[in-house]
Amino acid sequence: MNSRTVRAAMPAFASLVVLLASPSTQAGTQTVSFTTEKIFEAEHGDIANRWETQTDATEPNTRYVVVPTGPVPSVPDAVAELSYTVQADVAANYVLWMRVLAPNSYSDSLYWTNDERNNSIFWFNDSYNKWVWVMVSKSLPLSAGPHTLKVKYHNAGMRIDRILLTKRGYFKPTGIGEAPTVYNSMPPSSYNVALPQPPLNEHPRLLLRAGDLQDIRNREAEAALRANDRSPEYQAMNAAWGRLRAFAKNNPSGTLPPPPKPGDPADAKKELAKYCGLAAETVRAKALLHLIDSDEQSGRHAISLMEGYFDTCKIDNTRAIGETIWLSAIVYDWCYWLMNTDQRTAYIERFVALASKMEIGFPPVNQSAVTGHSSEAQLLRDQLSAGIAFYDETTAVYQLAAGRILQEFIAPRELVYKSHSHHQGDSYGPYRYTWDVYAAWIFQRMGAGNVFPSTQQYTPYQWLYTRRPDGQLMRDGDSYQGGYNAFNTYWNQIGTYMLTASYYDEPYLKDEFVRQLALAAQSPTPDARHPYDDLSMVVLNKPQLANTDTKTLPLSRYFAEPAGQMVARTGWSEGVQMQSPAVVATMKVGGYYFANHQHLDAGHFQLYYKGNLAIDSGLYEGVLGTTSQSYGSAHDSNYHKRTVAHNAMLVYKDGEKFINTASNDGGQRFVLAEPATLTALKDDKNGYRVANVLKHEIGPDNSTPDYSYLKGDIAPAYSDKISNYTRSFVFLNLKNNAHPAALLVLDKVKSSNKDFKKTWLLHSVQEPALDSQTATIKRDTDGYNGKLINRTLLPLEATLTKVGGKDQEYSVYDGSTGRYVNYPISLMDHKGLKFSEEPGAWRVEVSPKEAAEADVFFNVMQVMDADSALPPLATDAVVSASMHGVKIDNRVVLFAKDDADLSGTASFELATADTLRVLVTDLSQGYWSVSRNGAPATVEYEVGAEDGTMYFVAAGAGSYTLRQASKRTLPAPPVLTSLPLPAPK
């Protein structure tokens, strides 16, 4: 034997029987005995006729057999040119592999036969002139006992190095064929974080343990008893149990039905995916009922069905591969005691082969630890689940998956979760957040406790607050839900709320979960890309958890950095109410830019009243002609993700270049790459910091506030074309049925060149009407009845322009031509059913009449019914030397004119005799008094650093003076409570 043969003679598979003693000369016959697989050298059989043994010039240890020259044989008889005797220890269907090298297409075939049966020809058409393993026969039935394998050349030049027989249909040899056990070949973990360990020799331990089974049985019984009551939760649980038992009952044989026959190629993948989805449901049902019913047959069926799933459901994309891995982990763990060593080894080897094809790879070291596809199921459910299932046989899978999660994934989420929101928006946010919660459940049920920050539980509050009365969500980031939810339906993320509410015993989220269950039953599109699965419903849901009505939550909520966002409402609604009087406003400063599905929208706002009035423009998924458009399309990269598609500020610098895009929209700089780690995210040189919250406050109380205030520094979001930029928002709940709310936006912008044109944007669905300094936007189609009136107080004599309409809906100004360029997209074909997309078609652009380095924009928006005969409220500027101010209805709001906070003294004039509530912002920290017409002040208001505001009642016309003191010299004022909410219409 040469040295390579010695090294490879005993591949270390657990079930392998050693090579039987036999002659190693060319004249002898090599007899090999095996149970699972065996690799042997081609030159160690009987070699006859023109075959020769040679040595590879580039691999001195590689010897092979070859027919160097000669004619093609006319008859493929069974002459024993190469003959091998093999001893199969068990009867099975085997796979025959050979390691071959074909120098060219004229030497790429051979004849082979087994036990003198009919000869078969094998054609090799892979890469030439290199050693590769090729599958000669996918199914070679061998009974237990000796067999003869023969090979005859067809074309001269084909080289054969090694031969493999294996009964593992999924196994593919690599390299020269050494195959150490999967346990020993896995790389060690390099993570230094302390890992909680799965309980050894205890199964089940994935998602449930033996101590959980009786509770699950009790819940099934309770769901059955309460099937006829009106509880959506118990109805859903009973239905889930019904489906699980039906899947198990409908497959009594434990074998999968034949897969669909290929039909229309366009539908083949879709049909296979549907088939595999139903097959997976059956496997899960069988595995679960094996535990719940103590049914051994059900468990054995799950194992045999999983074998069929492995063979049939070979869909090579990461999410489908992940479903296979997760499903196999469930079967492995829940049916562990019914499996033998060979079966367990096969599952682990399949895992390695499958996981290596995932985007995150195996070991799972690829992609970002902060965002992206790595933040989905492939690590947080699939590979983690496999690691827990396999832990008795190999610790490596768990150490690699859990090690990366705990060392690299937790810290970025701690940063994000403190904001009680998610950076990936209204669609991808819930989707990716759900996988974090799923991982939390997996760790907890394994016995590790809570490994994620406890602030994780509040993330869904972002979607509670941005729920619109029409059942949709305020758009944020790459929003796909509109394209999958029918119009006039309640968008759902049932699994998100169920998993979080049950994990954290969260009563508000439980209330929303039950609401979504009830409303989904009424929808023609109930799943809409955010389905919940029956297994999670019956294993993880807590029906005994009480709920608290979300309508009792405070009307406004601040979502801290890195979100830096305020959501303000005038009320809550129930279900889908197109004519609800509730107003919803979102005001975003921002913090960090996480890329991927996040937009360049620092400073963006939206406003909803009986329809979306100030909107987020563009479309994530659509069509251009007949071609699907989505992530990275021309529309997406040149318009949809860009600042121009948002209610934000443009500063146009001629010739400015943006990464990976053709357009210069004048907006915020594009950071294309996702941050790989928390360290990369927080490193200033990488440019992910785009804004800083300067002030925020909700007052005078949190429950039904009169105002919601947010101010931020947004200059970091732009290139050096901007040297200073702050945006201040004040949302006023006017508590007036006819004029329910107003949104004030003050921008102070300084560019590095006065010729860089500044443009303030306001997007809409319907065409706006312009009249001098006023823009009016209606939303009075499709059952809506809202109207927005925007008055531009500053710049004085501003230029208002409307852009949009047919063939200009998504247009960007091109300075080189002086024209607008449209980046079109159309809605997907919903086959006659109206869906919820809301891409918009118009915008108002507000710019100064004269160019200047520094400009101030002061816009006051109010909302009312579109069909109201009442005039809008007057918006009167307030006279002050040091402050910009406006009076609207019974409120006055004031902002500092300078960039610095007000200090010392400041004054303003009020012309009305009415009693008004006054909000002063931009005050320095300290104690401030207010006096009217020179009368001495009687109280002092404490102004904090985080808010910088004072809120007081002004009793009539006159001159008001504010004075600052470093310490208290006067009594504190009595507590000022919020104005009462109006009676419902």
Amino acid identity at 340? N
Q: How far apart, in whole angstroms, are the C-alpha atoms of residue 342 and residue 36?
A: 8
Catalytic residue among 420, 597, 599, 604: 597
In the numeric block, the tokens 């300290």 are attached to: 926
Q: How far apart, in whole angstroms, are the C-alpha atoms of residue 312 and residue 324?
A: 11
DSSP-derived secondary structure letter, 419: T
Query: Exposed (0-12), middle (13-18) or buried (19+): which is 388, by Cβ within 10 Å?
Result: buried
Q: How far apart, in whole angstroms, are the C-alpha atoms of residue 416 and residue 462?
A: 12
Q: How far apart, in whole angstroms, are the C-alpha atoms of residue 362 and residue 478?
A: 29
State how far Cα 820 lies from the chain centre.
33
Closest to 916 in 3D by CA, of 950, 880, 889: 889
Q: How far apart, in whole angstroms, are the C-alpha atoms of residue 581 and residue 268?
A: 48
DSSP count for the chain of H helices, then E strands: 19, 42
Identify whether the C-beta of residue 48 lies closer than 8 Å to the C-beta of residue 152: no
In the numeric block, the tokens 């909680």 are attached to: 196
Catalytic residue among 84, 428, 508, 951: 428
Identify whether the C-beta of residue 893 lies closer than 8 Å to the C-beta of residue 730: yes
Give Cβ neighbours of residue 399 (< 8 Å, ≥ 6 apart): 188, 189, 191, 195, 387
CA-CA-CA-CA torsion for 700, 703, 705, 711, nearest 10 degrees? 80
696 is catalytic: no
- Write out the DSSP string of 120-154: EEEE--S-SSS-EEEEEEEEEEE-SEEEEEEEEES
SS3 of residue 465 by DSSP: helix
Amino acid identity at 116? E
DSSP-derived secondary structure letter, 135: E
Provide the sign of the torsion angle of the four alpha carbons 379, 380, 382, 388, taken in this order. Answer: positive
373 is catalytic: yes
Neighbours of 88 (CB within 10 A): 22
Tell me the two tokens of residue 585. 């406003």
Neighbours of 838 (CB within 10 A): 20
Around 385, how many Cα atoms within 13 Å sit in the side-chain half-sphere? 29
Tell me the two tokens of residue 762. 């306001």
| Strand pairing report for 774-779 and 786-794 | antiparallel
Identify whether the C-beta of residue 953 lies closer than 8 Å to the C-beta of residue 916: yes
Residue 287, H or E segment: helix 265-292
Neighbours of 623 (CB within 10 A): 15
- CA 409 vs CA 365, 413, 655: distances in Å: 12, 7, 39
604 is catalytic: no
Q: How far apart, in whole angstroms, are the C-alpha atoms of residue 469 and residue 483?
A: 18
Identify whether the C-beta of residue 310 lies closer than 8 Å to the C-beta of residue 328: yes
In the numeric block, the tokens 């039906």 are attached to: 246
- Of the chain, the end-to-end C-alpha distance in Å amounts to 95
Query: Exposed (0-12), middle (13-18) or buried (19+): which is 295, by Cβ within 10 Å?
Result: middle
Amino acid identity at 162? R
Identify whether the C-beta of residue 48 lies closer than 8 Å to the C-beta of residue 218: no
Identify whether the C-beta of residue 165 lies closer than 8 Å to the C-beta of residue 299: no
- Write out the DSSP string of 358-416: SSS-SSS--S-SSSSGGGSHIIIIIIHHHHHHTTTT-SHHHHHHHHHIIIIIHHHHHHH
Catalytic residue among 44, 373, 423, 696: 373
| Strand pairing report for 819-822 and 842-847 | unpaired
Question: What is the set of active-site residues?
Answer: 373, 428, 597
